[in-house]
Structure 1
Amino acid sequence: MGLTEWVLVAVAVLAVVLVVLWRQAVRVDRLHRTVLRSRATLEAQLARRAAAAIELAASGALDPAEAMIVSDVALRASDAAPVDLVPDGLAGSPETGPLAGVDDSPGAGTNRGLLESELSRTLRAVLGPRSERDELAADPRAAGVMTQLHQSWYRLQLARRFHNSHVEQVRRLRADAVVRVFHLAGRAPLPEPFDMDDELPGD
């Protein structure tokens, strides 16, 4: 082959490489955006569960001491919601909307996970076994809020699983040699899963 043919081959190979890299970069970006959306969904479910717990504590159906404990833990979780969005390590979150004000300080995710786990354990202890929960649900003062609490708690479990699954996809993709060598993830830090005790009350 002559020089012209070799140049054409080189250009074709370069074009293929660039297309492959571009498609991989788009995939990385799309997964990062998916993590951001799932993070917002998770945060919304955390806030809904805390709100339901606060409403239950204020319903008058609980023992006063138990109501005070639930209210204290739930209020701390609720107060954390607007500023301590579940950190996934992603930089450049939107300046407005549900993702505004992300706290990326060291330990923020761990502290939030501990707080939400404390709320889970407190609620399980207060609600007790199924027989006691059924009795509480039969109380007109707590019937509606018990349903809200169960639904928000269950949706929280699903939201956390989806979020962590998306984070795992990003981490697996970013471990790819091509993504690492060509820095296709840009300067975005590696996202982290959100760990907490979200087990629902048992029988």
Structure 2
Amino acid sequence: MGVKVLAVTLVLLVLVGLWLVSRARRVDRLHRQVEQARVVMFNHLKTRRQILKTALNDGSFGADFPSDELAQLLATAPAGQSDHTGASESDISAWLVRVWDQVERENPQIAQKLRINGFELRAARRFYNQQVAQVVRLRSQADVRMFHLAGRAPMPEPFDFDDEAPRA
């Protein structure tokens, strides 16, 4: 009888161990997906900045265009991936909404690039924030907390900014 109890206990321990390993792998996989989604989102932000910088440097807009304001926004807003802030991106989005009619009138090609980028950026931000929510939900579960299955990975945070699209 003692051997049976030992065997059952051993089987249960192995099953619990396998289950914990699968949970830890899921946490790790979700963290990697969040990181990939973050890179995609920041690449879209960099692309938007690059479109605006190129248009500004090429003189693609007329004399009455608020180029100084755009230059100030682009200079104030950090250029590095890890330095992007929601406030600076919101300022750029708000500026685009204000001057959208003028952008379309003066340079339809730039307007089209910005429209496409805006759609991709909104989708990327939404996907990133959904992934973050999944990680937060999973990491808040008792087994993940109790067995420290997330390791030392920092808790990801959503990236929120005003990404209102200029009207088409």
Partner residue, 1:154: 119
Partner residue, 2:86: 113
User: For residues 14 and 172 of structure 1, do their structure 2 counterparts lie closer, same or farther at Cα, with a shift above 3 Å needed?
Assistant: same
Cα deviation code 1:97-139 (max 9, x no counterpart):
xxxxxxxxxxxxxxx00000000111111224xxx55423xxx
The answer for unaligned runs of 5 or more in structure 1 is 86-111, 137-141
After TM superposition, the structure 1 = structure 2 runs for residues 56-71 of structure 1, keeping only pairs within 5 Å, are 56-58=55-57, 59-64=59-64, 66-71=66-71
Q: CA deviation at 1:57?
A: 2.7
Partner residue, 1:122: 95
TM-score (norm 2): 0.91
Amino acid at match of 1:113: G
Cα deviation code 1:74-98 (max 9, x no counterpart):
2433x4324415xxxxxxxxxxxxx
Q: Partners of 1:76 and 1:51 in 2: how far apart? A: 15
Partner residue, 2:47: 48
CA contact (8 A) 1:28 1:185 kept: yes
Greater helix fraction, Structure 1 or Structure 2: 2
Amino acid at match of 1:25: A
TM-score (norm 1): 0.76
Runs ≥4 in structure 1, deviation > 3 angstroms? 62-65
Instruction: Give me the CA root mean square deviation.
Output: 1.7
CA contact (8 A) 1:35 1:167 kept: yes
The answer for unaligned runs of 5 or more in structure 2 is none
Q: CA deviation at 1:33?
A: 0.3
Amino acid at match of 2:120: R
Q: Percent identity, aligned pairs only?
A: 35
Amino acid at match of 2:90: S
Further displaced range: 160-169 or 181-190? 181-190
User: For residues 51 and 195 of structure 1, do their structure 2 counterparts lie closer, same or farther at Cα, with a shift above 3 Å needed?
Assistant: same
Q: Partners of 1:169 and 1:82 in 2: how far apart? A: 23
Q: CA deviation at 1:152?
A: 1.2
Q: Partners of 1:174 and 1:62 in 2: how far apart? A: 52
Q: Partners of 1:191 and 1:134 in 2: how far apart? A: 37
CA contact (8 A) 2:61 2:103 kept: no
SS of residue paired to 1:198: coil
Partner residue, 1:90: none
How many residues are paired up? 167
Cα deviation code 1:146-196 (max 9, x no counterpart):
221111121111110000000000001011111011010012221110000
Partner residue, 1:200: 165
Partner residue, 1:37: 36
Q: Partners of 1:75 and 1:156 in 2: how far apart? A: 21
User: For residues 83 and 64 of structure 1, do their structure 2 counterparts lie closer, same or farther at Cα, with a shift above 3 Å needed?
Assistant: farther
Partner residue, 1:102: none
